[in-house]
Amino acid sequence: MADICTQGVDTGFVGLGFAKVAFLGLVQGITELLPISSTAHMRIVPAVLGWQDPGSAFSAAMQLAALAAVISYFWGDVRDLLFGSLDALTRRDFADRSFRLASWIVLATIPIIVAGVALSGILNACNSPLRSLSVIGWSCIAMAILLALAEIFARHKRTIGEASLTDALLVGVAQIGALIPGVSRSGSTLTAALGLGFKRAEAARFSFLLGLPAIALAGLKELWELHKVHLDAHGWSVLATGLVVASISAFFAIWGLMRVLERFSAWPFVIYRGLLGVILLLSVAMGWLA
């Protein structure tokens, strides 16, 4: 299956082969959980190298690599949320902190599910206009400005233990922005959490935990879509190669992000995003990138 578009599903990654997909998996894993937009890099890197776009199906399926990395890195938090909630249910202790936070995370996932279903026709379509380099460039600049404002005006004092249902819902609404290529799920949720006054590392931790259901649903949905279009064994093996590489690189990306936020600030990502957006728009305007 070498066709870029298969029954309406963008399967461009299959034609790239193992080596190129492994390289893109490395890039995807690094950028997926940093606030710099993996989708932007999945469009830019192939364009610069002269490769075909791996497609929205590849980006969505790679969510499972991010899921594995987040669960393994934050296993203590995930374990407490899961088993703490189950224990609270057996005790009928609905005021339990783990149960409440888990419930809030589920509720906060509803906005992006509704938006994702409503926009699925355009988001995952072959040659979607939302994946244009111009849209990605403007998204990068817009998010750089918002993240900069959060760094300047936020208090950076709160912890997850002080989070409320309102906090979870606001970050959940911000997560909708991740549907637009160039915005970044990590970028939109981290910016929202910082704006709500959370400490930098706590904001990242909160955004990652809150994004777990959405990440899992997006990845599993895309696997189902690929199954429905009868992706062959070669296609699945190419995708698996990207997933394995992306999972490993995503874990180290989280480690790096937490070190930067604990010791410095989000300014390196603000500068990177801003420059990336400007360079991308100039490249399109000058005809350097199509």
pLDDT, tens digit, 9 for 90 and up, residues 4-29: 666 556 778 988 999 999 999 999 99
215: Cα separation from own chain's centroid: 7
Q: What is the model's pTM?
A: 0.88
Angstrom distance (rounded) from CA 82 to CA 281: 44
Angstrom distance (rounded) from CA 175 to CA 187: 9
* Model confidence band, residue 60 (pLDDT cutoffs 50, 70, 90): confident
| pLDDT tens figures, 83-131 | 999 999 999 898 899 999 999 999 999 999 999 888 877 776 666 777 7
Q: Which is nearest to 46 in space by CA: 24, 22, 15?
A: 24
Angstrom distance (rounded) from CA 33 to CA 76: 19
Query: What DSSP state is assigned to residue 196?
Result: T
Question: How high is the pLDDT of residue 251?
Answer: 96
| pLDDT tens figures, 26-37 | 999 999 899 998
Q: Which residue has the tokens 């997909």?
A: 21
Percent of the chain with pLDDT over 70: 95
Mean pLDDT of the chain: 90
Query: What DSSP state is assigned to residue 74?
Result: T
Domain ranges of the chain: 9-284
* Model confidence band, residue 2 (pLDDT cutoffs 50, 70, 90): very low
Question: How high is the pLDDT of residue 239?
Answer: 93
| pLDDT tens figures, 205-244 | 999 999 999 999 988 988 988 888 888 999 999 999 999 9
**Taking 90 as the threshold, does the pLDDT of residue 152 lie above it?**
yes
Kind and range of the H or E element at 99? helix 97-123
Rounded to 5°, angle at Cα 102 from 99 and 103: 85
Give me the count of residues in the chain. Answer: 290
